[in-house]
């Protein structure tokens, strides 16, 4: 079995700030209880401690699980550079945005197969403008054609048409993606001194990131892993996670207390997709907006307090007070789910919860559909 780390050179080459910090989340909804009548009121007796793994701070353009899922392929690119890479995604794809930037930095040709043939008749959004600026070749296809993205005959045709020697699946989700997630879990263990979390929450879109966490966590990391489905896919998402668990080349670090299963307890909650991928609601939009503003206000307040007390340098202040930012496609749904579960008293009092911020804030650039 291969094990991570492979090398530290790829992180330094792209100026990746590892390890990403663990940050305490301060919000009024971390202290709620539900009365027998169903009303909610603040209650110190049901305080829940919430932490966030700030993978959104890894890099301004290739943050979160976008970097984690690409680190193994990028390492391989530096050892045996391909001439042309091809991948898939939607018009606001965090994966395409990150991969296009990386290919530009490595002087590798890149072709993006983009869902939505109608888009070629419209002005490019800012995400696609970035891809074009980084010399990516944009190919717009209709929905029916895009659905063939895993068909081996279609992939062979694309490989021949574009002379692509490397094809990376949509979202960067492939067995090699789990290497980077394993490294992230190792960072969590080191930062928390192996003091177990009661639960780890992570948004789930393609299953690779959650599979990496499930396969890498042990009892000293967490008691359970909860995925928050960001699209309609009950059963489908679980199958994806299981496929990655079975096909990954990383060693199984999980140490379950149950001898009959190799992994810690895990499940995916499907109650917070808000109608589907990139779908939202007025409630979710308002939650993201309010949360982001509260985090900015909190960071500014702490910054002023520390500077007035001359406790930190300006550089340290900036690092410590970076506010958490969420969007309604991935991170917003996960934070909203956690808030709701806390208010429903899903977690026992004094639980210690870790939410993984998977970065990728291209969703904040778009107007997601509000139902």
> Residue 55 in contact with residue 63, Cβ under 8 Å?
yes
Least confident of 119-123, 267-271, 318-322: 318-322
Pairing between β-strand 199-204 and β-strand 166-168 as defined by DSSP bridges:
unpaired
> Residue 338 in contact with residue 250, Cβ under 8 Å?
no
3-class DSSP string for the chain? CECCCCCCHHHHHCCCCCCCCEEECCCHHHEEEECCCCCEEEEEEEECEEEEEEHHHCCCCCCHHHHHHHHHHHHHHHHCCCCEEEEEECCCCHHHHHHHHHHHHCCCEEEEEEECHHHHHCCCCHHHHHHHHCCCEEEEECHHHHCCCCCHHHHHHHHHHHCCCEEECHHHCCHHHHHHHHHHHHHHHHHCCCCCECEEEEEECCCHHHHHHHHHCCCCCECCEEEEECCCCCCHHHHHHHHHHHHCCECCCCCCCCCCCCCCCEEEECCCCCCCCCEECHHHHHHHHHHHHHHHHHHHHHHHHHHHCCCCCHHHHHHHCCCCCCCCCCHHHHHHHHHHHHHCCCCCCCCEEEEEECCCCHHHHCCCEEC
> Residue 345 in contact with residue 46, Cβ under 8 Å?
yes
From CA 7, how far away is CA 106, in angstroms rounded? 17
* pLDDT at 293 exceeding the cut of 70: yes
* pLDDT at 323 exceeding the cut of 70: yes
* pLDDT at 175 exceeding the cut of 70: yes
Rounded mean pLDDT, 158-187: 96
Least confident of 85-94, 164-173, 316-325: 316-325
How buried is 25 (Cβ within 10 angstroms: 0-12 exposed, 13-18 middle, 19+ buried)? buried
Confidence at residue 368, expressed as pLDDT on a 0 to 100 scale: 47
> Measuring CA to CA, how many Å separate 63 from each of 2, 236, 314, 334?
24, 26, 23, 17
Beta bridge partners of 71: none
The whole-chain average pLDDT of the chain stands at 88
Sequence ranges of the domains in the chain: 9-61+176-282+321-365, 83-164
Q: Which CATH number fits domain 9-61+176-282+321-365: 3.40.50.1100, 3.90.480.10, 3.40.50.2000, 3.30.420.40?
A: 3.40.50.1100
Give residue-wise pLDDT tens across range 209-234. 999 999 999 888 999 999 999 999 99
For tokens 């789990």, name the residue: 178
Instruction: Give the orientation angle of helix 94-105 with respect to helix 126-133, to 10 degrees.
Output: 20
Instruction: Name the more confident of 8 and 211.
Output: 211
From CA 219, how far away is CA 64, in angstroms rounded? 24
Nearest residue to 113 via CA among 82, 80, 144, 149? 149
Give residue-wise pLDDT tens across range 41-79. 554 446 899 999 999 999 999 989 999 999 999 999 999
From CA 314, how far away is CA 141, in angstroms rounded? 48
- Per-residue pLDDT band at 363 (split at 50, 70, 90): low
Confidence at residue 2, expressed as pLDDT on a 0 to 100 scale: 41
Judge whether 9-61+176-282+321-365 and 83-164 match in fold.
yes
Confidence at residue 282, expressed as pLDDT on a 0 to 100 scale: 98
Confidence at residue 310, expressed as pLDDT on a 0 to 100 scale: 65
Nearest residue to 117 via CA among 90, 97, 94? 90
Rounded mean pLDDT, 342-371: 80
* pLDDT at 34 exceeding the cut of 50: no
Maximum C-alpha span of the chain: 65
- Per-residue pLDDT band at 132 (split at 50, 70, 90): very high
> Residue 46 in contact with residue 134, Cβ under 8 Å?
no
* Residue 93 annotated to the active site: yes
Tell me which CATH code domain 83-164 carries: 3.40.50.1100
Which of 20, 93, 248, 280 is flagged as catalytic? 93
> Residue 158 in contact with residue 146, Cβ under 8 Å?
no
Confidence at residue 306, expressed as pLDDT on a 0 to 100 scale: 72
Give residue-wise pLDDT tens across range 85-131. 999 999 999 999 999 999 999 999 999 999 999 888 889 999 999 99
Confidence at residue 33, expressed as pLDDT on a 0 to 100 scale: 42
Size (the chain), residues: 371
């Amino acid at each position: 079995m291969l094990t991570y780390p492979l090398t530290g050179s790829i992180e330094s080459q792209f100026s990746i700030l590892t390890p990403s910090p663990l940050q305490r989340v301060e919000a009024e909804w971390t202290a709620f209880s539900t009365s027998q009548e169903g009303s909610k009121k603040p209650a110190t007796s049901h305080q829940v401690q919430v932490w966030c793994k700030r993978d959104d701070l890894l890099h301004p353009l290739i943050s979160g699980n976008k970097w984690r899922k690409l680190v193994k392929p990028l390492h391989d690119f530096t050892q045996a550079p391909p001439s042309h890479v091809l991948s898939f995604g939607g018009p606001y794809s965090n994966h395409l945005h990150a991969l296009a930037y990386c290919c530009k930095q490595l002087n590798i040709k890149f072709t993006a197969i983009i869902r939505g043939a109608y888009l070629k008749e419209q002005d490019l959004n800012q995400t696609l403008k970035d891809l074009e600026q980084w010399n990516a070749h944009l190919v717009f296809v209709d929905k029916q054609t895009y659905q063939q993205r895993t068909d081996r005959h279609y992939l062979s045709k694309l490989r021949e048409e574009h002379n692509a020697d490397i094809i990376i699946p949509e979202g960067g989700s492939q067995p090699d993606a789990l290497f980077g997630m394993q490294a992230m879990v190792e960072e969590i263990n080191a930062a928390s001194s192996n003091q177990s979390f009661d639960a780890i929450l992570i948004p789930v879109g393609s299953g690779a990131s959650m599979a990496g966490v499930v396969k890498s966590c042990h009892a000293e990391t967490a008691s359970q892993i909860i995925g928050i489905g960001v699209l309609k896919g009950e059963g489908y998402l679980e199958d994806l996670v299981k496929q990655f668990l079975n096909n990954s080349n990383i060693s199984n670090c999980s140490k379950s207390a149950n001898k009959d299963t190799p992994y810690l307890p895990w499940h995916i909650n499907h109650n917070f997709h808000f109608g589907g991928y990139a779908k939202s609601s007025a409630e979710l939009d308002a939650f993201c907006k309010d949360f982001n503003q509260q985090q900015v206000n909190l960071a500014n307040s702490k910054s002023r307090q520390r500077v007035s007390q001359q406790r930190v340098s300006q550089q340290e202040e900036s690092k410590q007070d970076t506010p958490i930012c969420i969007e309604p496609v991935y991170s917003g749904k996960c934070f909203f789910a956690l808030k709701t579960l806390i208010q429903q008293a899903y977690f026992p009092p004094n639980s210690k919860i870790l939410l993984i911020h998977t970065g990728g804030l291209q969703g904040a650039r778009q107007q997601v559909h509000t139902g």
